[in-house]
Chain A
């Protein structure tokens, strides 16, 4: 579903991501964790087709994101960490906007949009301008719009930022259920508890290099600490790298 081959991204002399190789299977929830400035957001942007790598390639559902960006992006539901939207559209209009862009059929759109807006508790606000939405509501609207075209891959940067506890629980369940139905979720997060709870596999990135991958158990084994939580594992991995 997601294949990252030898990706390197340099900003002038600074290497943000170095020689990254990774494969995420269909129906897998993959968590990408690392300290600030480790290269998480750069990787997410590369996978979302926003940023071109200096070297390497990435494939989404077998489609090269840089050779065939339009076709690849059609498969993706992209959720950034900061919910910047068109302030002068209403929630429903924004849903229709993204629906049109992603080619959601006119007939099925209304039903689909209403379902997603209800799922994210935004239905009552659907006809209000986005400028009147709170940070969390905007974030939920992005989730709703990213799911409206039934993406095969979800790429999400810091999914829980700005969400209230109920929404966090809901999103965790949603990701698990989506994965069960075959959707691949690639998420970067600082919230290690979230990664531990929902991710099938976790990748630890530090100073642009992928220093460890595997299940939480695999990572524990790697640092040789049994029964430790992911926080301790993470600290151990990053301090010795």
Chain B
């Protein structure tokens, strides 16, 4: 056990030191900001849960059944999330972390290394799920006036669930890495995970879940009650947690203890089991991970031929960026996610029941089209946060090449800008044009939205590149996750503000133009000035949104110490 604790020491020490250095560096403001956002989210979740549970409780006859169903569904979802998170985290911790060479070279048995890494992985993969499921548990306890035992039981139940999920995730990884190398495995799991969520979403969307809460569509109330009362599988660990908590809330302590004991004993047995599996498989899998991957396509020079006409530095960065991007398998799942996002986005517009709306359809269609601009730009912000913002951090330790090359940081950033600008503009225009076609909007709205997007996209991409350059993290294990940092938060806030300002500025004149067309009258002189002024203002703001972040990023990146 001492060896395991020793192996965990670097993590514990760096955690303590990380906090201290953050304060030393005067970054308390950032921590406070993140703390406030986290607290708002936590208390928001708590408030919503409390309101929903109280609302359900008020429904005669089936209120309690609905609340229990909700708790059960929440636990199943949390369990699924914990397993998914555990698979990805344990893959990184057990096979891909940079410090593994050092750890495996130490005179410690393999299973002890595994135990230390697994504990580390369990904490990382489950703390967030645990923290954000507690508001629901607390509100459940408050609604049913549960005693102290309920809260203790909830804590132990979610703790046990996290251990089981983490053990199952680690076991799956230990076995799978024997077949497929870990570096490829991560992409496959991310891909499968996203596929799972997309299929789930589409399935739920196609089932029209809104009908499930409408008892009128069921033949009888009895059928409805029996449908929502169907228990989850008794072999699911989330069911044990649910039964333990349900019994604790209703005061059935003995019944609760049995389910809790079942859950805890199973987690203990499972941990013992994975240690045995690790003893047999872990080192073998770790060795396999170090072998290079086989390339499927070799010596493809198409890109070199296409970009032959470009000046040297532009061609160099463009080819490098595109090749590195597509050869990194972790990006493939992200591309798949974007494709799924586009399909879901467009599908949601396709199924809009416009004809059943009490508001005049032409008005509604064009109103939706106008709001759709903002929505599509928010989607773009999310995509830019994933690709454009980490673009500079993705240089990682190889950034020295950029700094020593005879191309200025300014050129480097502008090249990055254009590399991401073109595909992101195409993506946003596809979203806008397709949804406008589905909405049957007027030619004016079509022109307005495509032009507005054309003007605003550079600003969002520039904020991604510029702020990504201003707050780079060249040491990040996964640069894609840098958008969750302080700089990423600033990027998100600025983009949201930029989009909101542009939409607000355009809203008034667009309304007047549309109403004038609708009533078949021409715009007054003042209205024309307002229209021209508004569009000029949006254009001017867009130029500022491009120039300022790029300049800020260039200045900060040039001063960055390597």
Contact = CB atoms under 8 A, between A and B. Distances in A.
Contact of B299 (A78, A86, A127): A127
Contact of A129 (B327, B400, B406): B327
Nearest to A106: B308
A69 B407 CA distance: 9
B313 interface: yes
Contacts of B408: 69-70
A209 B458 CA distance: 49
Contacts of A74: 406
Contact of B398 (A85, A127, A129): A85
Interface string A107-150: 00000000000000000000111011000000000000000000
Contact of A100 (B295, B312, B328, B401): B312
A207 interface: no
Contacts of B396: 84
Contact of B407 (A76, A101, A104, A106): A101
B406 A70 contact: yes
B2 interface: no
Q: How large is the interface on A (under 10, 10 to 19, 20 to 34, 35 or more residues)?
A: 35 or more
Contact of A73 (B308, B312, B315, B405): B405
Interface in A44-74: 45, 48-52, 69-74
Interface string B317-333: 00110011001100000
B255 interface: no
A101 B316 contact: yes
A22 B323 CA distance: 42
A102 B292 contact: no
Contact of A89 (B299, B308, B320, B562): B320
Contacts, number: 91
A101 B406 contact: yes
A93 interface: yes
A45 B562 contact: yes
B312 A127 contact: no
Contact of B406 (A86, A87, A103): A103
Contacts of A221: none
Contact of A132 (B292, B299, B324): B292
Contacts of A45: 562
B16 interface: no
Given A85-B401, A89-B324, A73 B406 contact: yes
B408 to A, nearest CB: 6
Contacts of A101: 312-313, 316, 405-407
Given A70-B408, A127-B299, A131-B292, A50 B403 contact: yes
A82 B403 contact: no
Given A85-B398, A86-B320, A102 B405 contact: yes
Most buried by A among B295, B319, B405, B559: B405
A71 B406 CA distance: 7
A127 B324 contact: no
A100 B314 CA distance: 8
A157 B559 CA distance: 21
B320 A97 contact: yes
B105 interface: no
Most buried by B among A76, A100, A131: A100
Contacts of A128: 292, 295
B327 A102 contact: no
Contact of A96 (B319, B398, B405, B406): B319
A-B pairs, top 9 by smallest CB distance, nearest first, are A100-B316, A84-B397, A132-B292, A73-B406, A88-B327, A78-B404, A100-B312, A74-B406, A88-B324
Interface of A: 45, 48-52, 69-74, 76, 78, 80, 82, 84-89, 93, 96-104, 106, 127-129, 131-132
16 contacts: A48-B404, A50-B400, A51-B561, A51-B562, A69-B406, A73-B406, A78-B404, A84-B398, A85-B401, A86-B324, A96-B319, A97-B316, A100-B312, A101-B312, A101-B405, A132-B293
Given A48-B404, A101-B312, 20 more contacts: A50-B400, A52-B559, A72-B406, A73-B404, A76-B404, A85-B398, A86-B324, A88-B327, A93-B319, A97-B320, A98-B316, A100-B312, A100-B316, A101-B313, A101-B405, A103-B312, A106-B308, A129-B293, A129-B295, A132-B293
